[in-house]
Amino acid sequence: MAARPELDLALVVGSHGRHVMIETPEGRRLLAHPRGKKSQCVVGDRVRWQIAGDEGVIEAIEPRRNLLMRQDEWRHKSFAANIDQLLVVLAGEPMFSESQLTRALIATEDAGIPATLLLNKVDVPQAAAARERLRPYAAMGYALHETALKTRPDEARATLAPLLAGRATLVLGASGMGKSTLINLVVPSAQAETQEVSQALNSGKHTTTTTRWYWLDDSASGLDGRGAILDSPGFQEFGLMHLTPQRLAELMPDLRQHLGACRFYNCTHRHEPGCGVRDAAERGEISANRYRLYAGLWDELEAGQRKG
């Protein structure tokens, strides 16, 4: 869709199927659908639209700053566009999946989106093991914060306030990590807003299948400059089939810093002699688990390329 600056601007705040919920700079929300057969809009898109009866018609999508997506063998799923940061909620009970975390961080590196890690449930004994597993990620430069969303809500709000202020933050978290608790803590009206948007989109029981946009405050008017939380859908796996295996190392900060030390320019960092990445792994500068994840992802993406 080409840009149409002469049309009114709106923000996509919810979607289901071909219908989306848009919000105007004045705060009005209404149902809309893209012109054409296939919807290309995602939550966070700025769109140009016009009225058609009691609904809106989206005529164009403004250029995106970024787009976070995942893709498996069967389909791709776009989470959101034009976001300022990703906040990954993790916990030790149940223990978070390092594979899922690594995949999400690779996708954010590819999209050029900063990521922050939030270790929840630090009031339980398993937090120590989770903290240890996250040590390599803090060493890579990812900001790591700790909280107990349920048992220390006031402290949690104080921790989250400066992280979220003035930014559009997409929250990711597997089941049991505390993502829903976080959303309800910082946006008390979230449940009601979700029901309202779902009813308008006629999505019924599918309320968790799409990203939702929630404003955090009224500190600024219009569609920009205000803090916002984007609640992402739950998922069991984070596919990276939209990437080639050759790009993996440059999207993993701990591997990336050793790429210049390889003997061969097309090194896969798996079996070649004189590999700076493998040497760093042997010296313990790259954790053994991270290197195993890299090798497994390479095999997965290489197999996907052959099928494609």
CA distances from 98 to 115, 127, 237 (A): 15, 15, 11
How far apart are the C-alpha atoms of 301 and 296, rounded to whole Å?
A: 9
DSSP annotation of 240: B
**Was 176 annotated as part of a binding site?**
yes
**Can you state the angle between helices 179-186 and 153-164, rounded to 10 degrees?**
80
**Was 41 annotated as part of a binding site?**
no
- Helix spans in the chain (H): 98-111, 127-133, 135-139, 153-164, 179-186, 190-201, 253-256, 276-282, 288-307
**Was 147 annotated as part of a binding site?**
no
**Was 173 annotated as part of a binding site?**
yes
**Was 275 annotated as part of a binding site?**
yes
**Quick check: helix, strand or coil at residue 74?**
coil
**Was 69 annotated as part of a binding site?**
no
Q: Under a CB-based contact definition with an 8 Å cutoff, are residues 192 and 207 in contact?
A: no
**Was 112 annotated as part of a binding site?**
no
Strands (E) located in the chain:
8-16, 19-23, 29-34, 46-52, 55-61, 67-71, 76-81, 85-90, 115-119, 143-146, 168-172, 212-215, 228-231
The tokens describing 72, both together, are 């498996």
Task: Using alpha carbons, select from 168, 147, 144 the residue that is nearest to residue 157.
Answer: 147
**Was 269 annotated as part of a binding site?**
yes
**Was 204 annotated as part of a binding site?**
no
Backbone angles phi, psi at 185, to 5 degrees: -70, -45
How far apart are the C-alpha atoms of 3 and 45, rounded to whole Å?
A: 12
Q: Return binding residues.
A: 120-123, 173-181, 262, 267, 269, 275
Q: Return binding residues for Zn(2+).
A: 262, 267, 269, 275
Q: Return binding residues for GTP.
A: 120-123, 173-181
